[in-house]
Amino acid sequence: MTLVLGIESTCDDTGCAVVRDGVEILSNVVSSQIDIHNAFGGVVPELASRHHIDIIIPVIQKALEDANVTLDDIGLFAVAKGPGLIGSLLIGLNAAKALAFATKKPFVGVNHVEAHLYAAMMPAIEKLVFPLLGVVISGGHTFLARIDAIGEYTIIGTTVDDAIGEAFDKAAKIMGLPYPGGPEIEKLAINGDSSRYDFKPSKIKGRPFDFSFSGLKTKVLYTVKGQSSQMKSPLIIEESDKKHVAAAFQEAAFSDIIAKASLALEKYPDINGIVFGGGVTNNDAIRDIVAKKFPETPVFWPARALTQDNAAMIAGLGYHHYSQEGDALDLEPMTRLALEDLDNTYNKK
Ligand code: KG4
Ligand code: ZN
């Protein structure tokens, strides 16, 4: 039996969790910074890292307390080594290293985006039949990957510009909605009529599995502020039209994800199911669309508490990622997601 203490600090959430044997969540503490960044319409990296410093020790203490364990009970420290903001990453990484050094226990750095996929697989880990199709839809990433095992991935397609969550946030900002924009767009779209606007997903010539969301965002900008307008230009649509824009945007973005996921299932007929990860999985509309589109396919979604950034998915994945010695204490943060880093990472070490 191994208790893993996981730490997450890649962006604007400070998280710590204690997870038993990769699956059983004993505690999962997340301190959100949304109120701090909201006033600026997006995450301010310098403020994010300062807040991580202030809050990380209390968050770790609370996670130990909630799990009713002490540091002595922890067998492994896991931390999100990236991708993310450099200042934010350094706080979690150094906290994990310090804990491992002080307690003489191993530590391991895991990939945050891989952990988003693990969040959905965690409760079903015993029952999973590989290969699976992984679909990451988050604030920073959008990609499709073939999953042959935990730790064995082949990237099928990715975005050439904005991530889907980023597009939601930008479209919301254009309409003057608060940050983060995803939940705001979802709320508005419920009462909107998507057929009022003709928004289409972008196609990239010769790259059927890759995404591009930047054109869709520009389409929203020109629709609500006029042709060749800028972010700061005033709205030319009625307040009551925002819901239709939101519905049309959301439908275009999700139909793109679904179409490319379907194509991937056609290309790899041996794939047994789909695993979704990332903050956009919080959206009920995409869960409904997927249920209708793939009625026969096993689909795995993260539990609600694990859709957004959290440390339970880091601790859970850390358990699988750990290979005897763990990582060395000079492990560097990884600000960008190198897709090749995910391609067949640690099983091939
Ligand atoms: O996975 P995450 O925490 O960030 C990264 O790891 O990059 O996801 C945050 C993203 C934000 O872009 C946010 O707007 C989006 O997830 N999001 C949503 C919803 N809730 C969060 N997007 C659409 N609908 C939602 N309900
Ligand atoms: Zn994330």
Centre of ligand 2 from the C-alpha of residue 314, in Å? 11
Inform me whether the pLDDT recorded for 169 exceeds 50. Answer: yes
Inform me whether the pLDDT recorded for 338 exceeds 80. Answer: no
Please give the structure tokens belonging to residue 326.
């763990």
Residue 139: nearest ligand to its CA?
1
Q: Considering only 73-82, 146-155, 321-330, which range has the smallest mean pLDDT? A: 321-330
- CA distances (Å), 190 to each of 142, 246, 250, 251, 309, in order? 23, 9, 10, 11, 25
Does residue 168's CB lie within 6 angstroms of at least one atom of ligand 1? yes
Mean pLDDT of 337-343: 64
Centre of ligand 1 from the C-alpha of residue 165, in Å? 5
Residue-level pLDDT at 33: 84
Q: Considering only 197-201, 257-261, 271-275, 281-285, which range has the smallest mean pLDDT? A: 197-201
- CA 262 from centre of chain: 21
3-state DSSP call for residue 174?
helix
Ligand 1 atom showing the smallest separation from residue 113 Cα: 6
Does residue 277's CB lie within 6 angstroms of at least one atom of ligand 1? no
Give first-to-last CA distance, the chain, whole Å.
Answer: 24
Mean pLDDT of 38-47: 85
What phi, psi does 185 have (nearest 5°)? -65, -45
Inform me whether the pLDDT recorded for 45 exceeds 80. Answer: yes
Higher per-residue confidence, 344 vs 293: 293
Q: How confident is the model at residue 73 (pLDDT cuts 50, 70, 90)?
A: very high
Does residue 182's CB lie within 6 angstroms of at least one atom of ligand 1? yes
Distance CA 52, CA 38 (A): 16
Inform me whether the pLDDT recorded for 114 exceeds 50. Answer: yes
Ligand 1 atom showing the smallest separation from residue 250 Cα: 23
Percent of the chain with pLDDT over 90: 84
Inform me whether the pLDDT recorded for 322 exceeds 90. Answer: no
pTM: 0.94
Question: Residue 22 class from Cβ within 10 Å (0-12 exposed, 13-18 middle, 19+ buried)?
Answer: buried
Inform me whether the pLDDT recorded for 121 exceeds 60. Answer: yes
Nearest CA to ligand 1 atom 8: 279
Residue-level pLDDT at 341: 67
Inform me whether the pLDDT recorded for 323 exceeds 80. Answer: no
Does residue 6's CB lie within 6 angstroms of at least one atom of ligand 1? no
Residue-level pLDDT at 150: 92
Read off the amino acid at residue 344. N
Distance CA 226, CA 219 (A): 10
Residue-level pLDDT at 346: 42
Which residues face 27 on adjacent strands?
A: 18
Ligand 1 atom showing the smallest separation from residue 278 Cα: 1
Does residue 197's CB lie within 6 angstroms of at least one atom of ligand 1? no
Inform me whether the pLDDT recorded for 347 exceeds 60. Answer: no
Inform me whether the pLDDT recorded for 152 exceeds 70. Answer: yes
Does residue 302's CB lie within 6 angstroms of at least one atom of ligand 1? no
Q: How confident is the model at residue 345 (pLDDT cuts 50, 70, 90)?
A: very low
Residue 8: nearest ligand to its CA?
2
Ligand 1 atom showing the smallest separation from residue 140 Cα: 7
Please give the structure tokens belonging to residue 229.
């307008």
Mean pLDDT of the chain: 93
3-state DSSP call for residue 204?
coil
Q: How confident is the model at residue 35 (pLDDT cuts 50, 70, 90)?
A: confident
Residue-level pLDDT at 139: 93
Q: Which one of 9, 89, 116, 168 would you pick to mutate in the ligand 1 pocket, going by the greatest count of ligand atoms within 8 A of its CB?
A: 168
Residue-level pLDDT at 340: 61
Residue 18: partners with Cβ closer than 8 Å, 6 or more residues away? 3, 4, 5, 6, 25, 26, 27, 63, 64, 66, 67, 69, 74, 315
Residue-level pLDDT at 40: 85
Distance CA 89, CA 10 (A): 5
Does residue 327's CB lie within 6 angstroms of at least one atom of ligand 1? no
